A and B are shown apart, each in its own frame.
Chain A
Amino acid sequence: MNVGVVTFPGSNCDADARHAAALANADNGDVVHQLWHKDSVIPQGLDAIILPGGFSYGDYLRTGAIARFSPIMKEVIAFANNGGVVLGICNGFQILCESGLLPGALIRNENLKFVCKDVFLKVENTNTPFTNTVKKGSVLRMPVAHGDGRYTASEAEIILLEKNKQIVYRYVSQTGEKNAEANPNGSMHNIAGICNKDGNVMGLMPHPERASEALLGSADGFTVFTGLLAHFQRKQAQVVA
């Protein structure tokens, strides 16, 4: 698959996302592009764009609020609106919400402290380019690392998210229970990751790229990258057929 990872000033998980995407591409040799925030064109034939974690523009003003205005985001928004696959991880999720590609907002953690630890996620929608290789209801282990990860939306938006099955991941206990203890930041309804109505844009606070090798403690996050790979291989097969 042909993936581009955007580097904003202050992105610090861009190399990690490129590394995980390259691992997924190990067998096909496809390139992972580094996209620059000042670029106003994106490479031809890109399958997916990843907005990585970090502190774009120092997270000054509000997380993701400045990045949303960078030249590359015009292209990303057009790409997404055209059906292109976009994944936002952590700061990338915040940028997706700020740019209106996803509903809701990510605000300061409930306990006002940065939190870095492993969490468990229940996969609630497996009908996305990111989760299609996982069984519905699976519990995955991935780390979070953020100060502003508390997902918040209006009740009307939440109802729509539920109705359209846009809630992809929820924080749960190791055994799959949705409870307050499993929620690391006070997110509404334990929401950890959502997608847009069409399913081609997804944002999540946990870091799948940091859980993409067993060596690092968990390879559960790699499902996001293998999911993407399977999705594009299937698409390509359809085109060929």
Chain B
Amino acid sequence: MVTPYSEIEVTELTATELGLTAAEYAKIVEVLGRTPSYTELGVYSVMWSEHCSYKNSILQLKTLPRSGGRLLVEAGEENAGVVDMGGGYGVAFKIESHNHPSAVEPFQGAATGVGGILRDIFTMGARPIAALNSLRFGEPDTERTKYLVRGVVSGIGHYGNCFGVPTVAGEVYFDRCYTDNPLVNAMAVGVLRTDAMASATAEGVGNPVFIMGSSTGRDGIHGASLLASREFDSMTENMRPTVQVGDPFAEKLLLEASLELIAAKVVVGMQDMGAAGICCSSSEMSAKGNVGMKLNLDVVPLREADMSAYEIMLSESQERMLVVIEKGKESIAKTICDKWDVPFVEIGTVTDTLHVEVYRNEKLVSSIPAKSLVLGGDAPVYVREQTEPDYLKLTRKPIDKGATLNQDEFEKVLRKLLSAPTIASKRWIYEQYDSQVGANTIARWQGDAAVVRLKELPGKAVAVTTDCNSRYAYLNPYRGGMLAVAEAARNCVCVGAHPVAITNCLNFGNPYDPEVYWQFAEVIRGMGDMCRALDTPVTGGNVSFHNESQSHAIFPTPTIGMLGVIDDMSYVTGNTFTAEGNSVALIGWQQVELGGSEYMKTVKGRITGDAPEIIIENEVALQKAALLAIRGGYVSAAHDCAEGGLIVALAEMCFGSTVGCEIDIPFAHNVGELFGEAQSRIVLELSNKNIDSVKQICADHGVPFTLLGKTSGNTFIITELCNIEVQELASEYYNALPDILETVHA
């Protein structure tokens, strides 16, 4: 057998410079039975990186419920999970992080994050119908954070708007822990015909392998292994060249050509090139199909002719696909790509060697068993040490929840909360996103979740949302995992959707830190418990470790993307008051809570206490009752109590229209009752004639029903506590973020 040519001599030192451990290097030598070539070492270094191999997370991920319900494609099987919508259609959806690139270069980092997740969706044959995001930044009181916010938002807008996918929902939180390491999680949702789903599998010895889309350049080399798989330090600034540059126009053409290829039934398998480029797509497709591939890099369209095999294999240039075409149908495929002006070049063939063999300058430079590179093959799997973090001893000290407020104090707190960046209106951000292209967006920013109709299935729609309160996960990772799933489901329920499945983006610190790993394991345990209770299996997602700055880890941030199904669009319900003279009721369990609340953070300046309690059976009952009431047509508006608690939820319900309310809080007037963030609570607006019906539904499910007051006038009235014009509060709520972000300090 020919030993692959190596540009430089490889040693253990070369391996550690690329981020591999000595033990991993020894394993590579053992698998190959020889010293790897430089190109091979590069391939292993990215394929065995945290980002591609999930080596430190997979054992935990496997504990999540990953099948059942309406799932057509289970987690890990394909690029994204697929949920059956009936009528021959399915919905594919997935969320992914692009945190480190966005910290280094916010505009391109965020833009290519959107581009990457869109490709994951359309490589399966699904046309993207919605994009969402979940963003975390430091407090917006430094110019650097404002620069990151502006850059990330315009990057997301630039890519999604030009590509032509509506960005319909998202969430943005601000907290000091994200100052150096912002989070950019992007989610995409697409619709496909279930009988025309494309698979990321290489099959059929002799079938040609094509590279499709943009040419390959030196951008993004080692994005996955070095930038994404380690912490920030003084060297990070030098890594800007590892951030890819996106071209949404090229992606739009790639989308149309890909969908046309799939519809023409010429595609055997297709995988997008994201992290680790050609090397990842070729090895994963080969391993999955139990075949090999022979690739000639000399014909890959390059941006710079002198690129080495190493650079070509690892390049993360965007807007590219690897496609296996059925032999004999090459010309049909070529015609389609020509029509869309998408470059389409044959670079190899499927073989029976089980090896990915790579040639450059007519020399064999890499010959690796495909299986040895991937998860489920020889890629390492680690059990990591866990320790309960020390900080919990401090944060778990009891906090005073009973302080009562007079009218002056109440108004001050209310205004402070409504203009807190995390609660304040995100209009400044979302108006920069095209939220309607596609003409399917039913509800955008006026519901607890976005609603997008499916033209293919008249009358049907999906609800989508992203949620995670990372303060809860920090104070109590197990509960935090449960709460993120519960809130996402509750948000779907509030618009009238039945929650069916989740995708998740797990953002954590360094997994080699036992305290971080304990957080990770606990969050997953919580997510799993809640997903099982709600029957919302996990369809996949991504893990982002090493989100740390030089001094600390971020809060554990398990972002949940939830998909809900709406079978009849007359169910769709908003979250703002619709008319005067209706009743306002709280359904669910009022509790005195204050731990981890926005009140504690904004007013008291501390992130402490325990995360709000959640009783699984109560949450399930609440969601069942709320959905029945909404689908019975008894509810005019529904809004769950989240950051800022009951009072902020009520105020927010006034802001979408000009309808105010008169509320008499039948609980003690202390901060824990008013601004505490007890879970399993939804505020409803219902016409008076429907009160009995909703009461009955709640009684049937053992869910408390409490009448709070009525909608009226244009004033926000809480008896004994507050009487302010809605307009005045709304202007504070809407202007807070623009005032912060448009002010530039020298």
Contact = CB atoms under 8 A, between A and B. Distances in A.
Interface string B151-177: 000100110011110000000000000
A60 B249 contact: yes
A54 interface: yes
Nearest to A116: B434
B318 to A, nearest CB: 14
B439 A58 contact: no
Nearest to A216: B439
B435 A116 contact: yes
B431 A117 contact: yes
Interface residues of A, number: 31
Contacts of B438: 15-16
B162 A145 contact: no
B436 A12 contact: no
Contact of B442 (A12, A114, A116, A215): A215
B453 interface: yes
A19 B455 contact: yes
Contact of B432 (A53, A113, A209): A113
Given A10-B252, A12-B163, A114 B434 contact: yes
B164 A54 contact: yes
Contact of A12 (B164, B340, B455): B164
Contacts of B455: 19
B504 interface: no
B388 interface: no
Nearest to A36: B339
B249 A10 contact: yes
Contacts of A115: 431-432
Nearest to A38: B339
A116 B434 CA distance: 5
B341 interface: yes
A111 B249 CA distance: 24
Contacts of A113: 154, 431-432
B439 A212 contact: yes
Contacts of B341: 9
Contacts of A129: none
Given A113-B432, A215-B453, A215-B569, A59 B439 contact: no
Contacts of B24: none
Interface string A107-139: 000000111110000000000000000000000
A19 B453 CA distance: 14
Contact of B439 (A10, A20, A55): A20
A216 B435 CA distance: 11
B248 interface: yes
Nearest to B428: A113
A147 B252 CA distance: 18
A143 interface: yes
Nearest to B436: A210
Contacts of A209: 439
Contact of A145 (B154, B163, B247, B434): B434
A16 B439 contact: yes
Interface in B560-612: 569
Interface in B656-710: none
Given A114-B157, A114-B161, A57 B436 contact: no
Interface in A46-67: 53-55, 57-60
B163 A58 contact: no
B432 A116 contact: yes
B229 interface: no
B164 A13 contact: yes
Contacts of B623: none
Contacts of B344: none
Instruction: Give chain A's interface secondary structure class.
Output: mixed
- Chain A CB within 10 A, most for which of B164, B250, B253, B434: B434
B340 A19 contact: no
Given A210-B436, A216-B442, A116 B431 contact: yes
B248 A55 contact: yes
A68 interface: no
Contacts of A54: 164
Nearest to B435: A116
A115 B436 CA distance: 12
A9 B453 contact: no
- Chain B CB within 10 A, most for which of A53, A54, A115: A54
A215 B154 CA distance: 29
A220 B431 CA distance: 21
A207 interface: yes
Contact of A13 (B340, B437, B440): B437
Contact of A58 (B247, B340, B430, B437): B247
- Chain B CB within 10 A, most for which of A20, A60, A147, A213: A147
B165 to A, nearest CB: 8
A143 to B, nearest CB: 6
A145 B436 contact: yes
A8 to B, nearest CB: 11
A148 to B, nearest CB: 12
Interface string A163-204: 000000000000000000000000000000000000000000
B210 interface: no
Contacts of A215: 442, 453, 569
A216 B436 CA distance: 9
B433 interface: yes
B491 interface: no
Contacts of A147: 161
Interface string B403-445: 0000000000000000000000000001111111111111000
Given A13-B164, A116-B431, A117-B431, A210 B439 contact: yes
Interface string B207-250: 00000000000000000000000000000000000000001111
A57 B162 CA distance: 10
B233 to A, nearest CB: 34
Contacts of B433: 114, 116
A116 B436 contact: yes
Contacts of A210: 436-437, 439
B635 to A, nearest CB: 19
Contacts of B430: 116
- Chain B CB within 10 A, most for which of A9, A13, A19: A9
B254 to A, nearest CB: 11
Contact of B441 (A13, A57, A212, A216): A216
Nearest to A111: B742
Nearest to A56: B249
B179 to A, nearest CB: 24
B436 A207 contact: yes
Contacts of B249: 9-10, 55, 57-60
25 contacts: A12-B164, A13-B164, A13-B437, A16-B437, A19-B439, A20-B439, A53-B437, A55-B161, A55-B249, A58-B247, A58-B249, A58-B250, A59-B162, A59-B249, A114-B432, A115-B432, A116-B161, A116-B430, A116-B431, A116-B434, A143-B436, A147-B161, A212-B439, A216-B436, A216-B439
Given A209-B439, A217-B442, 14 more contacts: A9-B253, A9-B340, A9-B341, A12-B437, A16-B438, A19-B455, A55-B249, A58-B162, A58-B248, A59-B249, A114-B434, A116-B436, A117-B431, A210-B436
Interface of B: 154, 157-158, 161-164, 247-250, 252-253, 340-341, 430-442, 453, 455, 569
Q: Which 5 A-B pairs have the closest CB atoms?
A: A12-B164, A58-B249, A16-B439, A145-B434, A55-B162
